[in-house]
Amino acid sequence: MGPRNETQISEFLLLGFSEDPEMQPFLFGLFLSICLVTIFGNLLIILVIITDSHLHTPMYFFLSNLSLCDIGLSSTTVPKMLVNIQAQSKVITYTDCISQMYFFMIFAGLDDFLLTVMAYDRFVAICHPLHYTVIMNPQISVLMVFRSWVMNFMQLCLQGLMLLWLYFCTHLEILHVFCEISQMVQFACSDTFLYPIAGALGGGSLTGILFSYSKIVSSICSSRRITSISHVGS
């Protein structure tokens, strides 16, 4: 990599959805409503799960953690967008942009891992119902969430290094309402060799989800086939 250009820019422009001044109040009200519904809706889910002893099961434990991640995702992206709309400004500083990308990846990555854990939970419940309470006991459930945090942290070590490595030397207009990682990587002047590696680690979660649900579908189809044969035999 060649020497860096010392004229690196210190801010970006978030172009958002529309530059029409008449649309800004509508967009502000719309996204404020969505943000509030998301935050209070997920808080309500967490509160119900905590207070109702009948919901103290692995599935709802994972769901409460997923709701917490959704709150984090909304809180990472929407407030800055609302501030820009209200102030009629599209500017976001370099530091704020990098921070926004980092926290977005924290919650998005954990969201992926939790969805993988929830898919495995459903796989055990449907394909091995007699062993479910043994395999998915409370200790194992807590351990799986803890491991999700640890694996997400390991993934973020690479992604965080990549973010610190990003270097921008031209004026950037981001066609989004927040600093979206794939766009930022395309605009970077520096090497982005770590980005495919970080993306490949995230793809492991999708593989786990698809594997679990493929086994669930296969189990359901096998059960229906056996039931059909039993009815024909009788």
3: in domain:
no
Using CA atoms, how far apart are residues 137 and 133, in angstroms rounded to an integer? 6
DSSP β-bridge partners for residue 91: 13
Order of strands, edge to edge, in the sheet holding 11-14? 91-93, 11-14, 173-174
5: in domain:
no
Q: What is the pLDDT of residue 201?
A: 58
Q: What is the pLDDT of residue 2?
A: 43
What is the residue-level pLDDT of the chain in tens, covering all 234 positions? 444 444 456 777 887 776 777 788 888 898 899 999 999 999 999 999 999 988 899 999 999 999 999 999 888 888 888 888 888 878 888 888 888 888 888 888 888 889 889 999 988 988 888 888 888 888 999 999 998 888 888 777 777 677 677 676 666 777 778 887 777 777 777 665 555 555 555 666 677 777 777 877 877 777 666 565 555 555
145-157 residue pLDDT tens = 998 888 888 777 7
2: in domain:
no
The position carrying tokens 């119902």 is 129
Q: What is the pLDDT of residue 49?
A: 94
The average confidence (pLDDT) of the chain is 79
4: in domain:
no
Query: Other C-beta atoms within 10 Å of 207: how many?
Result: 10
Q: And the tokens for 37?
A: 């519904």
- On whether the CB atoms of residues 188 and 210 are closer than 8 A, the answer is no
Tally of domains within the chain: 1
165: in domain:
yes
216: in domain:
yes
- Which residue range forms the structural domain that includes residue 49? 11-229
Which of 176, 172, 152, 156 lies closest to 164 in space, CA to CA? 156
Integer CA distances (angstroms), 89 to 13, 86, 120, 128, in order: 9, 8, 45, 55
Q: What is the pLDDT of residue 12?
A: 79
95: in domain:
yes
**Residue 42 is part of a domain; what is its CATH number?**
1.20.1070.10
Using CA atoms, how far apart are residues 181 and 220, in angstroms rounded to an integer? 39
71-127 residue pLDDT tens = 998 888 888 888 888 888 788 888 888 888 888 888 888 888 898 899 999 889 888
1: in domain:
no
Instruction: Work out the percent of the chain whose per-residue pLDDT is above 70.
Output: 79
